[in-house]
Chain A
Amino acid sequence: MKSTCPVCDAQVTLPKNTEESEIISCSDCHTRLVVSSLKDNNATLQEAPKVEEDWGE
């Protein structure tokens, strides 16, 4: 499955088992991206949210 990086327009290849809300990196510009939707083998990517104060384990 392929999609487009919203930052640099590079083509991003997604692994088969990709899930919605998963964080990935663009191999060209290394921006952290989130898979915002995944429908009918089409993935939409957005810039990942920045780490917030309450994030963690």
Chain B
Amino acid sequence: MIKIGLLHTTIRGDEKLIIEAARKKSIKIKLIDVREEIFNRKTYQCNFDVALQRCVSTVKGNNATHFFESIGIKVINNSSVAAICEDKFVTSLALQKANIPTPDFAMVFNSTQAVKAIKKMGGFPVVIKPPLGSWGRLLAKINDIDALEAILEHKDVLGSPQQKSFYIQQYIKKAGRDIRAFVIDGQTICAIYRDSLHWITNTARGGVTSNCPVTREIADISKKASDAVGDGILSTDIFETNDGLQINEINHTTEFKNSEKPTKTSISGAILDYCVKVVKNL
């Protein structure tokens, strides 16, 4: 019987769904709280076929991924995919390099360059995001030069070194929603709309989910985005614009607990099916 090592820190509703789906499919799951492990190559005893990385902590998840890869265990998603998706700037570079429509962006390290970059991007408003971060935290919509100066000065004085890398993205006016598509092995299995009156539509910030029919356009752009970052279990955040769809971000440890019900899709089951497929192809 195939045994999946589920790498986790805190157990979220998403991991509970995966555990429940595994029970239904008679797939063995070994829960591995990475915070309690000793990752020493000389002493570690591994007794599962593939690792499914579901840590809420990006840093701990990365370390665990590198460790298991070093002892020959395949990790889903692998460290290369994680390295791209965890960083918004690196994701944007990968998307642009692959000619996938994505909002214009720039990385700068001081306010003088920020002003020049914004001018070249067509002016305000823009969005400044921490390159590493999630759940819509510390996003700033910058409407004018005064706000820009204030935000950058605060980041410079108060921020960690990572906060002093200013990732600037063109602001895309949304019709009160964006799309999240769940993409496994390049195939979009379902998608949701995230509606919000606020410009930030993350469900962690109150965005409301509903089913979004998977159109050919959504499936095509999501497939290309998945290919661009190395495939696996992903979700794409998509903006609807007058010029067509644009990929905003790609998530590599995607949360889906609020999406199974509206889409009537067992995302957790599809995740497990993919893990089984990977093991069978080893």
Contacts and interface: CB of A to CB of B under 8 A. Distances in A.
Interface in A14-50: 17, 19-23, 34, 48-49
Interface residues of A, number: 15
Interface in B53-72: 56-59
Counting contact residues on chain B (CB < 8 A from A), the size range is: 20 to 34
Given A53-B133, A54-B132, A57-B253, A21 B10 contact: yes
Given A54-B59, A54-B132, A55-B58, A34 B10 contact: yes
Contacts of B57: 52, 54-55
Interface of A: 17, 19-23, 34, 48-49, 52-57
B96 interface: no
B251 interface: yes
B56 A55 contact: yes
Given A54-B59, A56-B56, A22 B11 contact: yes
8 contacts: A17-B16, A20-B31, A21-B33, A52-B57, A54-B57, A55-B56, A57-B235, A57-B253
B9 A21 contact: yes
Given A19-B15, A21-B8, A23-B12, 6 more contacts: A23-B10, A54-B57, A54-B132, A55-B57, A56-B137, A57-B255
